[in-house]
Amino acid sequence: MSLFNFFKKSPKEPNLPEQESNILLAMPMFNNGDGYDVNKIIADLASHWALDAADIEGDDNVISFRINGEKVIIAHMPIPIPWADIEATAQYAYNWSKATEELKEHTGHAIVSILAGSGNSLERFSILSKVLCSILHTSNAVAVYKGSQSLLIPRTQYLSYSELLEKNDIPVMLWVYIGLRKLNTGNCAYTYGLKDFQKQEMEIIDSAQGLEELYNFMLNITSYVIDHNVTLKDGETIGSTPEQKIAITFSKGQFVEGDSLKLEI
C-alpha cells in the first residue's frame, strides 16, 4: 500500500538499532490449570495456515519443530508469569481495561520461541503470530504477553487482528505497542517494538491532533515501515499526499530509551 511519499532534504543517517537478537518470544496465558495440545497445534498450522511442521521433536512439555526453516520451541510452564513482570504492562494496556482484574489469577503459561534463523523480521514475526494463533485456536488460552514489545493482548483481540495475516497485511497491533499520552502541552504518541525490525522508534510530541488521529497515523506509518522495509532519516519529510510534508528529526527519545525519530504533526 502506497500511503506515504518521501521528500529528502539532506538526510543525516541515524545510528540504527543493532541486528535482531535472533530470538522472538511470546507467552500465551492460561487459567484453571489449562494448557495446550501440540498435535492439535501442528494440525491447525497445516489446516489454517498451510504451514507444515518439520523436524518435530518432543512432547506437550517441550516441543521443537521447523516452519519454513525457522526453529520453533514451545515450552509448557505450569506456573503463572510473575505478576511483577506483567503488572506495568497490564496497567498501560488501554486495549484491555480489565487486564489486571482478569489476569491476576492466571495459573500457567507457555513460552513460544523463534530461534535464530535466516528469515527476515517480517517473516519471523509472521511465523510467531501464526503459531500463537494456532495455540489460541486449539486451547483455552486467555491472552498473549509479549514483554519485549510491552504488549498484552486478550484472546479475542489477538485472533481478530491475526486475520490481517490472512490478507497479507501487517498486524501492527500484534507486533508493536503504540503508546499514547495526553499532556498539558499537547498529545503524544510513540512506538515500542520497531527496534525488533531494526528500525528507529518513532515519537510524536505535543501535537494538537487528537489521540485517535495520532494512533491511526502512527499505526499506518508503522505498517508502511515494516511492510516496505523503509528506513526514515533525519531531515526527510513524510506525508500521505505529495502536498503533505511532515518533518522528521532525530533526537533523544522522550517516551522511549535512546534516540527516536520525531514526526512533527
Rounded to whole angstroms, the maximal C-alpha distance in the chain is 58
Instruction: Check residue 168 and give left, alpha or beta (phi > 0: left; psi -120 to 50: alpha).
Output: left
Q: Do 70 and 119 fall within a single domain?
A: yes
Segment 138-157, tens digit of pLDDT = 999 999 999 999 999 999 99
* 109, pLDDT greater than 50: yes
Q: CA angle, corner 219, sides to 124 and 8, nearest 5? A: 95
Segment 231-259, tens digit of pLDDT = 999 999 998 788 889 999 999 999 999 99
Q: Do 182 and 100 fall within a single domain?
A: no
pLDDT of residue 16: 46
C-alpha 127/C-alpha 113 separation (Å) is: 10
Enclosing domain of residue 221 = 5-16+176-263
The grid coordinates listed for 76 are: 509448557
Q: How confident is the model at residue 215 (pLDDT cuts 50, 70, 90)?
A: very high
Q: Do 195 and 169 fall within a single domain?
A: no
Q: Do 230 and 105 fall within a single domain?
A: no
Segment 37-92, tens digit of pLDDT = 999 999 999 999 999 999 999 999 999 999 999 999 999 999 999 999 999 999 98
Q: Do 159 and 200 fall within a single domain?
A: no
Q: How confident is the model at residue 222 (pLDDT cuts 50, 70, 90)?
A: very high
Q: Do 52 and 157 fall within a single domain?
A: yes
Q: Do 168 and 228 fall within a single domain?
A: no
The residue among 174, 195, 225 that closes a domain is 174
pLDDT of residue 174: 98
C-alpha 50/C-alpha 43 separation (Å) is: 10
* 220, pLDDT greater than 90: yes
Structural domain count of the chain: 2
The residue among 139, 174, 209 that closes a domain is 174
The grid coordinates listed for 180 are: 499514547
Q: 178, 30, 150: which is closest to 87 by C-alpha?
A: 150
Segment 4-50, tens digit of pLDDT = 433 333 334 444 444 445 799 999 999 999 999 999 999 999 999 99
Identify the bridge partners of residue 234 per DSSP, sorted by sequence position.
12
Q: Do 41 and 128 fall within a single domain?
A: yes
Q: Do 111 and 193 fall within a single domain?
A: no
Residue showing cell 521443537: 64
pLDDT of residue 242: 82
Q: Do 70 and 145 fall within a single domain?
A: yes
Helix axis angle, 121-137 relative to 38-49, nearest 10°? 120
Q: Do 183 and 101 fall within a single domain?
A: no
Q: Do 146 and 180 fall within a single domain?
A: no
pLDDT (mean) for 259-263: 98
The residue among 174, 205, 225 that closes a domain is 174
User: Alpha helix locations (H) across 197-255?
Assistant: 211-228
Residue 13 or residue 200, greater confidence: 200
Number of other residues whose CB lies within 10 A of the CB of residue 210 = 11
1 contacts 230 by C-beta, under 8 angstroms: no
* 189, pLDDT greater than 60: yes
